[in-house]
């Protein structure tokens, strides 16, 4: 029962709290606390009355059933008797005589040195009357106090002061009760066609805009897409243009043009997905013959080459591109042919494939952010500057470079970013300056700085995810995706 239920059980007339407790079957203590709450809100009026209660002691209870000693004395006294022998005969204390005297039942006479007790009356005493009444009703009314105190002094009763609560509904309470029932009966949640047709004079329930509702998972961009879009923004902001190339590539554009010998381990079935259909692609004949020279003897580049055999059939084999650097080289060819003017900066954010086992940090298909710059006087510092700038705009400020070997760049650097929740450095890119063996055949004389970054690795750092399978693929954590904000703070 709450305070409102209690309010409904009260009336406009004062009622005693112990009666209310019985009526609503609540323990007095619970009722008292509800009453004080209602009183605090002025929904009830409370009247307090003090009353005196007499509780019979054990002795008092016995006296109430049998009799008081003075009654025994008077009923056993015939007319008069010597005081000592009387008390002895009836086994009474002197107090019995004392009260008999006070009741005016007896008087004491002096007769020749002896004291005689003489009976004069035996009407019911005030104390006897009160004791009798207390068997039914413990309250001491006004006028009874003096006798009650006598009984207390005789240790026949204990006197207690009690506060009685009388409670009734206040004016404000009546209004509140009315409002409550009206609220239940009349507040309407929805407009119906009938109300529109026939008219409606009631009131509508107010909207609770703070109410809890079920989440709505509307369609939105995948977190990886968000990141890719953000990276695109950043790169475009840095003056890069977007490039695109085919997913299905020839080995030529994916490997040969990059000074990778045909027996290079990357070109193994174990690392690369080869296609059965189509299983051959055209390669540009003139460029292919130069690439062959470069690989066998260095052509005009001053290099010693990197292979002792080269077949055009191997170069024609079709694969799913293993990196978007294939696209970079298609664009570099256009630059060499002056179809695109320098200086220029290009990027792509696209899918690549590698025949790799899936684990926390590897997927067989993922995305690379690829980029390159062709301009005069580019060097390693230019490359490091571009990265520092790019990553800073994405919120990754802790980056590190490490020298590495790539067949097609010299020098080359791996890029590491600090993963906060893993507390370690994670590889997020590979980069370098293209070797003359790769750029000279295309007719490019300037330094070309270039890089490839795994989008998924950058995502792991920025989203603080330690398992990429949570973000993409069959074991995606759907709830994580649903809860991912459309405009994540981390990408700002
Ligand atoms: N192609 C390299 C990779 O897949 C990245 C790269 C691009 C490195 C361009 C150097 C220059 O990791």
* Residues 367, 455 contacting (CB under 8 angstroms): yes
Determine if ligand 1 sits within 6 Å of the CB of residue 295.
no
Determine if ligand 1 sits within 6 Å of the CB of residue 17.
no
Distance (angstroms) between ligand 1 centre and the Cα of 424 equals 22
- Mean pLDDT in residue range 100-117: 90
Q: Where are the domains of the chain?
A: 3-54+159-198, 58-140, 223-247+323-491, 248-320
In order of 18, 422, 456, 459, 488, the CA distances from 491 in angstroms are 67, 19, 14, 10, 6
- Mean pLDDT in residue range 474-479: 91
> 3-12, 173-182, 335-344, 386-395: which has the highest mean pLDDT?
335-344
Residue whose CB lies within 8 A of the most ligand 1 atoms, among 430, 433, 455, for a mutation test: 430
The C-alpha atoms of residue 41 and residue 7 are separated, in whole angstroms, by 12
Q: What is the pLDDT of residue 183?
A: 63
Determine if ligand 1 sits within 6 Å of the CB of residue 60.
no
For the record, the structure tokens of 386 come out as 């571009």
- Mean pLDDT in residue range 25-33: 87
Determine if ligand 1 sits within 6 Å of the CB of residue 438.
no
Residue whose CB lies within 8 A of the most ligand 1 atoms, among 249, 258, 260, 325, for a mutation test: 325
Distance (angstroms) between ligand 1 centre and the Cα of 468 equals 21
3-54+159-198 and 58-140 have identical folds? yes
Q: Hey, what CATH topology would domain 58-140 get?
A: Arc Repressor Mutant, subunit A (1.10.10)
Residue 488 has pLDDT above 90, yes or no: no
Among the ranges given (7-16, 139-148, 209-218, 384-393), the one the predictor scored with the smallest mean pLDDT: 209-218
Q: Hey, what CATH topology would domain 3-54+159-198 get?
A: Arc Repressor Mutant, subunit A (1.10.10)
Determine if ligand 1 sits within 6 Å of the CB of residue 323.
yes
Determine if ligand 1 sits within 6 Å of the CB of residue 450.
yes
Determine if ligand 1 sits within 6 Å of the CB of residue 348.
no
Please list the residues that pair with 161 across neighbouring strands: 52
Residue 145 has pLDDT above 80, yes or no: yes
Q: Provide the pLDDT confidence category of residue 449 given band limits of 50, 70 and 90.
A: very high
pTM score, two decimals?
0.60
- Mean pLDDT in residue range 356-365: 92
What tens digit of pLDDT does each residue of 34-57 get?
998 899 989 999 998 888 889 888
Determine if ligand 1 sits within 6 Å of the CB of residue 441.
no
* Residues 453, 427 contacting (CB under 8 angstroms): no
The C-alpha atoms of residue 27 and residue 227 are separated, in whole angstroms, by 64
Q: Provide the pLDDT confidence category of residue 182 given band limits of 50, 70 and 90.
A: low
Scan for tokens 């086992």, then name that residue. Answer: 357
Residue 186 has pLDDT above 70, yes or no: no
The C-alpha atoms of residue 461 and residue 426 are separated, in whole angstroms, by 8
What tens digit of pLDDT does each residue of 378-425 get?
999 999 999 999 988 887 888 999 999 999 999 999 999 887 777 889
pLDDT > 70 in the chain, percent = 98
Q: What are the start-end ranges of the H helices in 220-322?
A: 223-237, 251-254, 285-297, 312-316
What distance, in Å, lies between the first and last C-alpha atoms of the chain? 53
What tens digit of pLDDT does each residue of 228-259 get?
999 999 999 999 999 999 999 999 999 999 99
- Nearest alpha carbon, ligand 1 atom 9: 451
Q: Provide the pLDDT confidence category of residue 491 given band limits of 50, 70 and 90.
A: low
- Is residue 278 reached through a cis peptide bond, with omega within 30 degrees of 0 on the bond before it? yes
Residue whose CB lies within 8 A of the most ligand 1 atoms, among 406, 411, 458, for a mutation test: 406
Note the CATH number of domain 223-247+323-491.
3.30.930.10
Residue 289 has pLDDT above 70, yes or no: yes
Determine if ligand 1 sits within 6 Å of the CB of residue 325.
yes
Residue in 266, 428, 225 with CA at minimum distance from that of residue 353: 266
Determine if ligand 1 sits within 6 Å of the CB of residue 430.
yes
Determine if ligand 1 sits within 6 Å of the CB of residue 352.
no
Distance (angstroms) between ligand 1 centre and the Cα of 121 equals 129
Q: Provide the pLDDT confidence category of residue 312 given band limits of 50, 70 and 90.
A: very high
Among the ranges given (147-151, 312-316, 436-440, 481-485), the one the predictor scored with the smallest mean pLDDT: 481-485
Distance (angstroms) between ligand 1 centre and the Cα of 351 equals 14
């Amino acid at each position: 029962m709450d305070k409102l239920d209690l309010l409904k059980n009260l009336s406009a007339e004062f009622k005693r709290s112990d009666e209310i407790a019985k009526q609503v079957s609540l323990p007095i203590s619970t009722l008292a606390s509800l009453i004080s709450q209602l009183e605090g809100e002025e929904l009830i009026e409370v009247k307090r009355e003090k009353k005196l209660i007499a509780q019979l002691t054990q002795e008092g209870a016995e006296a109430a059933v049998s009799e008081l000693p003075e009654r025994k004395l008077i009923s056993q006294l015939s007319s008069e008797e010597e005081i000592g022998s009387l008390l002895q005969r009836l086994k009474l204390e002197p107090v019995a005589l004392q009260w008999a005297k006070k009741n005016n039942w007896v008087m004491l006479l002096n007769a020749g040195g002896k004291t005689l007790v003489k009976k004069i009356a035996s009407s019911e005493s005030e104390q006897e009357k009160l004791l009798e009444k207390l068997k039914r009703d413990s309250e001491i009314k006004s006028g009874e106090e003096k006798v009650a105190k006598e009984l207390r002094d005789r240790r026949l009763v204990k006197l207690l002061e009690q506060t009685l609560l009388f409670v009734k509904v206040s004016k404000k309470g009546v209004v509140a009760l009315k409002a409550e029932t009206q609220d239940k009966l009349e507040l309407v949640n929805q407009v119906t066609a009938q109300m529109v047709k026939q008219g409606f004079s009631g009131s509508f329930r107010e909207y609770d805009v703070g109410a809890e509702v079920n989440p709505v998972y509307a369609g939105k961009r995948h977190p990886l897409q968000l990141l890719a879009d953000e990276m695109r923004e950043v790169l475009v902001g840095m003056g890069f243009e977007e490039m695109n190339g085919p997913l299905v590539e020839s080995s030529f554009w994916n490997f040969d043009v990059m000074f990778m010998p045909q027996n290079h381990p990357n070109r193994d079935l174990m690392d690369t997905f080869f296609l059965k259909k189509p299983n051959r692609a055209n390669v540009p004949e003139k460029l292919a013959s130069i690439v062959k020279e470069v690989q066998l003897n260095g052509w005009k580049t001053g290099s010693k080459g990197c292979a002792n055999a080269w077949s055009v059939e191997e170069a024609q084999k079709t694969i799913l591109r293993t990196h978007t650097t294939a696209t970079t080289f298609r664009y570099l060819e256009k630059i060499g042919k002056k179809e695109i003017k320098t200086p220029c900066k290009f990027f792509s954010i696209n899918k690549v494939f590698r025949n790799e086992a899936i684990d926390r940090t590897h997927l067989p298909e993922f995305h690379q952010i690829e980029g390159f710059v062709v301009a005069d006087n580019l060097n390693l510092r230019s490359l490091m500057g571009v990265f520092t700038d790019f990553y800073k705009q994405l919120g990754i400020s802790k980056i590190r470079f490490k020298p590495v070997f790539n067949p097609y760049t010299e020098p080359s650097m791996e890029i590491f970013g600090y993963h906060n929740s893993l507390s370690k450095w994670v590889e997020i890119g590979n980069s370098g300056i293209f070797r003359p063996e790769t750029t000279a055949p295309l007719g490019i004389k300037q330094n070309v700085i270039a890089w490839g970054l795994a989008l998924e690795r950058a995502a792991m750092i920025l989203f603080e995810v330690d398992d990429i399978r949570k973000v993409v693929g069959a074991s995606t954590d759907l709830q994580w995706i649903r809860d991912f904000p459309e405009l994540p703070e981390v990408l700002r």
